Structure 1
Amino acid sequence: MTQARELRLNTFQMAAPSHNWAGLWRHPRDNQAQYNRLRYWTEMARTAERGLLDSIFIADVFGIYDVYGHSADAALRAAAQSPSADPAMLVSAMALVTGHIGFGITSNLTYDHPFSFARRFSTLDHLSDGRLGWNIVTGYLESGAHGMGLAQSRSHDERYEAAEDYMRAIYQLWEGSWEEEAVLRDRQSGIFTDPSKVHMVDHDGPYYQVHARALAEPSPQRTPVLYQAGTSRRGRVFAGRHAEAVFLNGQTPPIAAQAVRAVREAAQAAGRAPHDVLALLGATVIVAPTSAEAHDLKEEYRRHLDVQGQLALVSGWTGVDLSQLSPDDALPFVRSNAIQSTLENLTIRAEAPARVRDLIDFSPAGARGPVLVGSPAEVADQIEAWVAATDVDGFNLVRTVMPESLEAIVDLLVPELQSRGLFKTRYREGTLREKLFPSGSAYLPARHPGAAYRQQAPH
């Protein structure tokens, strides 16, 4: 009998009052409105680590959702991913109260220069003892571009061209600037760093230029674990080259399976092994001691969804102004600079295009992925079925009502998965990369293109 693959599980969060489900902050047992308090995050981190989750994956978006009705009013009223806080600022506090759980932080490279970004994330990797991951995103909201003083954002494919240039620069800063033995900390000689082992980065790319030595000494992982979200054609090529884990959506097993296959093929085309990239599927889980209690919870949560806020989110994700459609209208496919893979999944890849009313409910279309509801055994059965049908490595578990949704996963679902041999019973030692890839090391593996910059560092 083949041994079951160990699942990877993240709690999928956002430093905002609402994440993927607008309006749930209004629920009487919910505490998401406290997103801007450190205790909210430290208590979450303790709970997630108690459940042996792999990481706290924090989404982020740079801008406000203003596609719906050409206005930000609906998003602001519903707190639909707005207001938001900088997720990177949360890591130090959570790292202090935990010892193992990782932190996957979304950060938009378009408006953040590689030189300053490299130091900030090296610092966080140091302070977390090597538990940091970076979810590489390029941004898609025009409101973010306008906030940065630009007339418009880059086109979808150009964003990835710029991202390739960014990665060439960042690998040189993280991997090539400081040699392994550059830092001596030699009290007797009085030499902290050997200057001969710290090298200039001379990068003249089409989008970014860096002429300097990296400011931070190498962190425990040098390059944080690299996540990527986006499975458009261009996004898959980027992920195949750079990502160590990909976050994907898919409301049916065939859609998700096709995305997983495409990412693994892209990795192989880039000279890597197909399973060098972990595939993590977004999923909404509502689990309770009994099936009846879980379905009652689903109905209770549904009553607190904010329709206008949810439409504002989906309009921003797809680039389609849903204020112009009626509830029974099908979502149209239009080319835009928004999240192409999301719109493709809901329209041309679906058996039938999602209706607007499906997008404002706890449905697979509304979730952009599976909605798993039931007792621990029932949800575990559904998870096993999705893994078998799609070849995913694990799940990003979307928050609903906090903290009870996370506590239910930790206290009810995790023990059931452990009893089936599908989830770990203790953390491995080492960095986040070593935990996720136990046969590897703390650093990028040799097959990864970033490793070449370390191996070719000048002497």
Structure 2
Amino acid sequence: MNQSATERMTREILFNAFDMNCVVHQSPGLWRHPRDRADRYVDLSYWTDLAKTLERGKFDALFMADVLGVYDVYGGSTDTALREATQVPLNDPLMTVSAMAVVTDHLGFGVTCTLSYEPPFTFARRLSTLDHLTKGRIGWNVVTGYLDSAARGVSGASAQPKHDTRYQIAEEYMALVYKLWEGSWEDGAVLRDRARGIFTDPARVHRVLHEGEFFKLDAIHLSEPSPQRTPVLFQAGTSGKGRDFAARHAECVFMAAPSKTVAKTYVADIRGRAAAHGRDPRSIRIFNLTTAIVGRTEQEARDKHQEYRRYVSHAGALALMSGWTGIDFSAYDLDEPLRYIRNEAVHSAVESFTTADPRRVWTVREVAAHVGIGGFGPLLVGSAAEVADEMESWIADTDLDGFNLAYVVTPETFVDIADLLVPELQRRGRYKTGYAAGTLREKLFPGQGARLAGPHPAAAARRISLEAAE
């Protein structure tokens, strides 16, 4: 066994909880289950209770998904999404964070914000504000969007920009927010000098001048430096363009590979691209979407799984798949093999079920059944020991760092993980028994510090700004 494989057998496994400010996130139909409480998403106590459960389970972060459109590709209508509550109705994920931060001390918060529809200047302030209020526990899941309905709703455009154009916009957007977060205010700018009546030293605050292809700005950042300055950067695109973007910018990558074969390919490619950009391949934490149904015994877990399956909505699953892939699955026969079609939605979504693993041919029916509980990722069912075995196998075989854990029934799924699976992993020495001190970045990357360092481009933005001011 080589050194890399040996290291994987002892690596501490990381957990994010995967949720969304809506009724149906990744398991369409399960909101009807009598023990599910997802329809309480409009109550603040739902979120504060969830945060306390996750902190009890030593989860690294709550990863909050979001979209700004509706799933209207399936059948060319919003009817199925509305009927099935398929990620609609949907509220703003950022509004829940402050309340959850108050009732926790360590849990991180990764929030999805679509840069295609967020002005960089005001967005940078919102994230700095949350970084202050959480004492450095905020992360940003950088996405470019994939729904034409979002473009129609936000800007009135008939469609979103092309896939590759969205990543060109994203590169410039990142350069601009790095300038705001890292380069506008020096560390010593805020004096709070009551005796002299000087709160901020103007000489240490610098205007950000940016004139690019997509954005123009002449302003100072409105917020003083927050604990992390730049939030922890998550990225959720695993298309070719998405992987290259992740290799340049991401600290944490979220992917949704349905098999080890697909996951191993994606992980190796992302780490290889990071090295090509001069970054340490291990400086990126990679999480795969996974759903775990855990019982006190194997039989209890399998009974839960059978019980949950009775509530799955295949129409809701296909509405999600149609939105993710841009393919109207209402026009397919259920037993027709899924073919690769390149379009302007999520390239990696359809790749995961087609070209990424040529040994497996999925029918539309099989995809609907798979997506029906937990979305794209694998489903692990068993006792705590069995699920722990599977997770250790995934880490060893694919070089993942951890899992974004979707729920089937909430909060039941997360309670079972916190109370059954986590203690088993702790007994094996594969999961933390306490949180490290410091910010989210310091917890995820021990020894790195609260702020991004070179060769990450955010650190370069800080250096260039200070050199220009001298």
**TM-score bin, normalised by smaller chain:** over 0.9
Residues 122-178 of structure 1: per-residue CA shift (max 9 Å, x gap): 000000000000000000100000012112100000000000000010000000000
Q: 2:256 aligns with which of 224, 249, 260?
A: 249
Q: Which moved more, 1:324-333 or 1:42-51?
A: 324-333
Residues 196-217 of structure 1: per-residue CA shift (max 9 Å, x gap): 1110000111111111000011
Q: Which residue of 1 aligns with 2:101?
A: 95
Kept after mapping to 1: 8 A contact 2:15/2:404: yes
Q: Which residue of 2 aligns with 1:25?
A: 31
Q: Which residue of 2 aligns with 1:394?
A: 402
SS of 1:257's partner is helix
Identity of aligned residues (%): 52
Provide the alpha-carbon RMSD of the alignment.
Answer: 1.3
Q: Which residue of 1 aligns with 2:437?
A: 429
Structural mapping, 1:411-422, within 5 Å = 411-422=419-430
1:5 aligns with 2:15: no
Q: Which residue of 1 aligns with 2:457?
A: 449
In the TM superposition, what is the alpha-carbon distance from 1:256 to its structure 2 partner?
0.2
Change over 3 Å in CA distance of 1:363–1:22 after alignment to 2: closer
Q: Which residue of 2 aligns with 1:270?
A: 277
Residues 182-203 of structure 1: per-residue CA shift (max 9 Å, x gap): 0011111111001111100001
Q: Which residue of 1 aligns with 2:45?
A: 39
Kept after mapping to 2: 8 A contact 1:11/1:53: yes
SS of 2:418's partner is helix
Change over 3 Å in CA distance of 1:364–1:371 after alignment to 2: farther
Change over 3 Å in CA distance of 1:102–1:448 after alignment to 2: same
Q: Which residue of 2 aligns with 1:201?
A: 208
After TM superposition, the runs of 4+ consecutive aligned structure 1 residues lying more than 4 A away are 362-366
In the TM superposition, what is the alpha-carbon distance from 1:340 to its structure 2 partner?
0.4
Distance in 1 (CA, whole Å) between partners of 2:78 and 2:308 is: 24
1:354 aligns with 2:362: yes
In the TM superposition, what is the alpha-carbon distance from 1:251 to its structure 2 partner?
1.2
Distance in 1 (CA, whole Å) between partners of 2:261 and 2:188 is: 49
Q: 1:63 aligns with which of 61, 65, 69?
A: 69
Unaligned 5+ residue runs, structure 1? none
TM-score (norm 2): 0.96
Q: Which moved more, 1:153-162 or 1:203-212?
A: 203-212
Kept after mapping to 2: 8 A contact 1:288/1:375: yes
Q: Which residue of 2 aligns with 1:176?
A: 183
Residues 223-266 of structure 1: per-residue CA shift (max 9 Å, x gap): 00000001111011100000000001111111100000011011
In the TM superposition, what is the alpha-carbon distance from 1:379 to its structure 2 partner?
0.2
Distance in 2 (CA, whole Å) between partners of 1:221 and 1:173 is: 13
Kept after mapping to 1: 8 A contact 2:373/2:408: no
Residues 265-291 of structure 1: per-residue CA shift (max 9 Å, x gap): 111111101111111011011001011
In the TM superposition, what is the alpha-carbon distance from 1:364 to its structure 2 partner?
9.9
SS of 1:211's partner is strand
Distance in 1 (CA, whole Å) between partners of 2:102 and 2:373 is: 38
Kept after mapping to 2: 8 A contact 1:252/1:364: no
1:312 aligns with 2:319: yes
1:224 aligns with 2:200: no
Tell me the amino acid that sits aligned with residue 436 of structure 1: L
1:343 aligns with 2:354: no
- What is the count of residue pairs matched by the alignment? 459
In the TM superposition, what is the alpha-carbon distance from 1:358 to its structure 2 partner?
1.2
Q: Which residue of 1 aligns with 2:305?
A: 298
Change over 3 Å in CA distance of 1:363–1:145 after alignment to 2: closer
Tell me the amino acid that sits aligned with residue 71 of structure 1: S
In the TM superposition, what is the alpha-carbon distance from 1:455 to its structure 2 partner?
1.9
Kept after mapping to 1: 8 A contact 2:317/2:371: no
Distance in 2 (CA, whole Å) between partners of 1:212 and 1:73 is: 44
Kept after mapping to 2: 8 A contact 1:251/1:367: no
Residues 10-49 of structure 1: per-residue CA shift (max 9 Å, x gap): 0101111011111111110000011111100000000000
Residues 85-142 of structure 1: per-residue CA shift (max 9 Å, x gap): 1101111000000000100000000011110000000000000000000000000100
Unaligned 5+ residue runs, structure 2? 1-5
Distance in 1 (CA, whole Å) between partners of 2:365 and 2:91 is: 30
Q: Which residue of 2 aligns with 1:137?
A: 143
Distance in 2 (CA, whole Å) between partners of 1:366 and 1:43 is: 21
Kept after mapping to 2: 8 A contact 1:200/1:211: yes
SS of 2:457's partner is coil
In the TM superposition, what is the alpha-carbon distance from 1:353 to its structure 2 partner?
2.9
Distance in 2 (CA, whole Å) between partners of 1:299 and 1:104 is: 32
In the TM superposition, what is the alpha-carbon distance from 1:352 to its structure 2 partner?
2.9
TM-score (norm 1): 0.98
SS of 1:450's partner is helix
Kept after mapping to 2: 8 A contact 1:126/1:219: yes
Tell me the amino acid that sits aligned with residue 23 of structure 2: P
Q: Which residue of 2 aligns with 1:440?
A: 448
Kept after mapping to 1: 8 A contact 2:247/2:274: yes
1:118 aligns with 2:113: no
SS of 2:96's partner is helix
Q: Which residue of 1 aligns with 2:3?
A: none
